[in-house]
Amino acid sequence: MWTSLLRAVGPRRLARGLVGGLVLTSLAGLLGLTVLLGAIAGSSASSESMAPASCVVIPTPDPATAASAPPRTSARWSAEQLGNARIIAQRGQAAKAGANGVIVALMTAMQESSLRNLPRGDRDSAGLFQQRPSAGWGTREQILDPVKASDAYYGVADHTHNPGLTDIQGWQRLPLGVLAQAVQRSAYPTLYNRWEPDARAMAQWLLSGATGTLDCTGANNPAQVSGSWAHPLAPAPYALVSPFGMRLDPVTGAWSMHRGQDFAVPIGTPDRAACDGVIDRVDPADANGGGMQTDLDCGGGIVIKYMHQSAFSVRVGNTVRAGQVIGHTGTTGHSTGPHLHFQININGQATDPVTFMRQRGIRF
């Protein structure tokens, strides 16, 4: 029986299929874990998000597809991000993963790398999907190849036996966020869901055959300023990395609460006031590992913390307006690379910055 089966499907596909079956068997446990970690991290399965960058996709439908082409999407992406998304969509079509398969892959890459081919991440993670050589996803060079990484994600690559999307038994019937987690096996399984609206819009545009242009002026960008609130970095490009919630601390290696949202950016990127308020603290060496840190008091018990800075642009007592530059990002304190740790405390208790800012018209 085994000889016949090997001849029929091949040893590589059989091995991945067996692992995929084990993954399906564990889905009940996965769903329970998703609920538990969602409660811990305070994330919402229905939350929306917006990709970072100051470019907006303006589709120009081909006359032959004008009736089915999507309207202008609200997501903002750089040319680099769109190029990577197009590769993911093309490889999904080649893998016969269907529209939903492409949506799941885009959701995953949006969460893991913000659609950037990152050279490094947590531990040995790299690439669009933050795949790890030590976890069997291929060599570092293969993982940093967008085509090979996408093929591995979809389950059609020859360089890895890890089960990809199409190896998961019954994958067409699974909720999209659950399917993303079944492939990735992330410590933050609920966070893929936040990207579904953007991934659907992008997949529809990419798969429709429509052409388009990029508007990179940054003008009238609703993700940058909304009333008395503003994006802490826009229009500068960035990558969302370590989110709010429980994680393995990259410095100490201990399982602990991460009280902010991290943005990977080059050293010296301007940090901007996220609210109209008063500078409450300018600390050159935070005792808790925040490095150079600025605290902005927005009133009503809301204090925003900017950690790991490289320079200050304000002093204690200064009144600032939303969008004003108050400092520059760095990698001071307990940090493994240049980034902004953006933390929002309400009456001393940290809250998820993504949800908080979205409720005020600012999307990351």
Residue 233 and residue 208 share a domain? no
Q: By residue range, what is the domain housing residue 64?
A: 2-215
Return the pLDDT at 196: 84
In this structure, the answer to whether residues 174 and 306 fall within a common structural domain is no
Same domain, 135 and 267: no
In a domain, 363, yes or no: no
Our separate counts of H helices and E strands in the chain read 10, 16
| pLDDT for the residue numbered 248 | 80
User: If residue 328 lies in a helix (H) or strand (E), which one and from where to where?
Assistant: strand 325-329
Q: Distance (Å, rounded) from C-alpha 167 to C-alpha 151?
A: 12
> 10 Å Cβ neighbour count for 72?
13
In a domain, 220, yes or no: no
- Measure the CA–CA gap between 323 and 218, rounded to whole angstroms: 14
- Do residues 200 and 244 both lie within one domain? no
Tally the domains of the chain.
Answer: 2
Tell me, yes or no, whether 136 and 268 share the same domain.
no
Q: Quote the CA–CA distance of 103 and 62 in Å, as a whole number.
A: 22
- Digit-by-digit pLDDT tens for the chain (364 residues) are 444 433 433 444 444 544 444 443 344 343 333 333 333 232 222 222 333 334 455 555 555 544 444 444 334 567 788 889 999 999 999 999 999 999 999 999 988 888 889 888 778 889 999 999 999 999 999 999 999 999 999 999 999 999 999 999 999 999 999 999 999 998 778 878 878 877 887 888 788 766 565 444 443 344 577 778 999 998 787 888 888 998 887 777 788 899 999 998 889 989 999 999 999 999 999 998 999 999 999 999 999 999 999 999 999 999 998 888 999 999 999 998 899 999 999 999 999 999 999 898 888 8
Question: Are 163 and 304 within one domain?
Answer: no
Q: Which of 179, 194, 215 is the last residue of a domain?
A: 215
What are the b/e assignments for 21-38, b being 16+ CB within 10 Å? eebbeebeebeeebeebb
Residue 126, in any domain of the structure: yes
- Contact between residue 165 and residue 104 where contact means Cβ atoms under 8 Å apart: yes
**pLDDT for 122:** 76
Q: What is the pTM of this model?
A: 0.51
* Two tokens, residue 98: 């269907």
The answer to whether the beta carbons of residues 174 and 168 sit under 8 Å apart is yes
**Which residue, of 175, 197, 215, is where some domain finishes?**
215
CATH label of the domain that carries residue 293: 2.70.70.10
